[in-house]
Structure 1
């Protein structure tokens, strides 16, 4: 499949450069006044490796560059909204003046935002928006665009393979408590609407849990059988779960399945030919942007975004669609902070070595 250049498909590197003026570096004199400031970085779960491997390092690195003496408090709620509330209260008691939060439950997080702001604490919504409370800023990749990209890509692939429109598509959405999942879902609906394939059934996956997604897809395989042309799944975890369900049912070949996040597992499924696409969104980029916003807000500045979402000034970065055709160029050859997004030595292990050779990827 040939993808033409559009604003949605521009490289992340170019987008990062284009966004730079929106977050101008804080002058040294200003940074000095931030001495010993405490900033919290609260992430939602440990189910995805991205938070430890990419988001946290990107945020910490940028904070050190902007304010070497600032203290960063990091907590991960491991998918527990009550635990995240405890962590939120804890960082406030430790003197946090700005809190970056990727909420486990976007609705429940509204009360946290209001409570912090009543105490003069700045709150930056991260990755997942908080629709019912106006945070001081929101930073994310464009989730609606992500949903539309993976779904329309699947539709175009099925059409290119001359799959008859008498078949249909399963839709595996993300968590119903995650507002970002709602945006991805909206985009998926838009993407599927570009083609002739009927949505056979759709499912909101509780807490993004792959076992729940796998169980649901297994039920749909029994229900629809060969009518299933493909699966649009909202992330690599649910996509991998769909692949596992087809394999457990003895379906060969597995219908095309989408994903999102460019996890190692998802990329390896693409290399093996079991997953059709994913989304590359190196979260070091949004981590660094959140750090810049936090520093600007603590300095009394009003950082500009490129849009407004749920009444909140927002900076959205555009991700990149990845299939087997461009995996090498977008994942192995492309670098963030001087390192490959994922090196071939990590992806091309064991049973994935042969698939890497077919794609021209060598460790």
Structure 2
């Protein structure tokens, strides 16, 4: 069963806007400055989830989205819900009231995300799930990376670092309210569960991707396993960093491989230092461009170009999707992230990491 979509027709809400710049005021306003992008109709609202689960949302996604919409000549306003589902709902209500014709959200949980999308639908506003699928939602499109593959890369990365020896593994999974976290774990398990020399000695999800809670949870799992942990499948760099902090206290940092995701500055530094086995790079520019292209198609009343569909596990509906390919990053190819613009060398190669960058061929 495929979700039925009613695409937004230009001027659906009677708003014809001259599109030229991207607004990003955290208080809810958009910057409708002058300057050239030509004329088009429609307005896009984007709501990012928080600033705590990963630094990517403000350091990578926001600037990439601003650049993508500005390049396309699209009037857009970008807000951050700061981890508060009620605030996300309020932001969405304001955006809808201000005349957005397309609304993209990174939901904090599927229930609140689906409610936002229903409100938008009732107001004739098209919706897009950005990065995270809203289970039971009504988004016209889902723009993200292949998140099962992300987990597979993490699982294979940990296996490559552990080798064929007997090993005890702890899983530090992402938020239970984030469908992506489920997919990451499924992908990792699909690789590691078939390796009979590995034993899972602990697994727990981290509420809201909270790094402080992750440290507490990992400490408890580590203690329960009597410190006999040989590898950590951490769902992102923040959770990986929390585990590394505990391992450092036990004198095991660098001896126990830890995975990650997002190719953050800290994650890349940990990979270079050898305390983190690998991370997964997902180009914010690539994802932002895909969102901008999808939003523009919706605003014009056209179909977006998709790579396939994603099954919504809540009702088995198929959501038209644009899924991008993630990349595994180890010490050998950290430079790929720098070259692609995912991070700046001057941010990664600071202090003690300068020599590590030089050794890795990063300048």
Q: One fold, TM greater than 0.5?
A: yes
Corresponding residue of 2:14? none
**1:106-145 alignment, distance < 5 Å:** 106-145=110-149
Conservation of the 8 A alpha-carbon contact between 2:253 and 2:275? no
Corresponding residue of 2:206? 205
Aligned residue for 2:262, secondary structure, equals: coil
Corresponding residue of 2:187? 187
2:280 and 2:348 map into 1 onto residues whose CA distance is 16
Conservation of the 8 A alpha-carbon contact between 1:262 and 1:278? yes
Structure-2 change in CA distance of 1:294 and 1:220 (3 Å): same
Moved more, 77-86 or 259-268: 77-86
Alignment partner for residue 322 of structure 2, among 299, 315, 318?
Answer: 315
2:65 and 2:353 map into 1 onto residues whose CA distance is 32
2:102 and 2:49 map into 1 onto residues whose CA distance is 17
Aligned residue for 1:100, secondary structure, equals: strand
Conservation of the 8 A alpha-carbon contact between 1:304 and 1:313? no
Conservation of the 8 A alpha-carbon contact between 1:155 and 1:194? no
Corresponding residue of 1:42? 47
Corresponding residue of 1:286? 287
- Unpaired runs of 5+ residues, structure 2, are 1-18, 20-36, 313-317
TM-score using structure 2 length: 0.84
TM-score using structure 1 length: 0.84
2:68 and 2:248 map into 1 onto residues whose CA distance is 43
Q: CA deviation at 1:33?
A: 6.4
Q: CA deviation at 1:226?
A: 4.6
1:101 and 1:252 map into 2 onto residues whose CA distance is 37
Conservation of the 8 A alpha-carbon contact between 1:171 and 1:232? yes
Are 1:239 and 2:265 matched, yes or no?
A: no
Aligned residue for 1:232, secondary structure, equals: strand
2:92 and 2:190 map into 1 onto residues whose CA distance is 35
- Superposed CA RMSD in Å reads 1.8
Aligned residue for 1:350, secondary structure, equals: coil
Conservation of the 8 A alpha-carbon contact between 1:150 and 1:232? yes
**1:159-198 alignment, distance < 5 Å:** 159=163, 162-163=164-165, 165=166, 167-196=167-196, 197-198=198-199
Aligned residue for 2:177, secondary structure, equals: coil
Corresponding residue of 2:356? 355
Structure-2 change in CA distance of 1:274 and 1:127 (3 Å): same
- Unpaired runs of 5+ residues, structure 1, are 1-29
Q: CA deviation at 1:315?
A: 0.5
1:155 and 1:250 map into 2 onto residues whose CA distance is 22
Q: CA deviation at 1:106?
A: 2.2
Corresponding residue of 1:22? none
Aligned residue for 1:103, secondary structure, equals: coil
Aligned residue for 2:231, secondary structure, equals: strand
Alignment partner for residue 54 of structure 1, among 50, 53, 60?
Answer: 60
Corresponding residue of 1:76? 80
Q: CA deviation at 1:175?
A: 0.4
Conservation of the 8 A alpha-carbon contact between 1:136 and 1:313? yes
1:60 and 1:357 map into 2 onto residues whose CA distance is 32
Q: CA deviation at 1:65?
A: 2.8
Superposed structure 1 runs of 4+ greater than 3 Å apart: 30-33
Aligned residue for 2:306, secondary structure, equals: coil
Q: CA deviation at 1:170?
A: 0.2
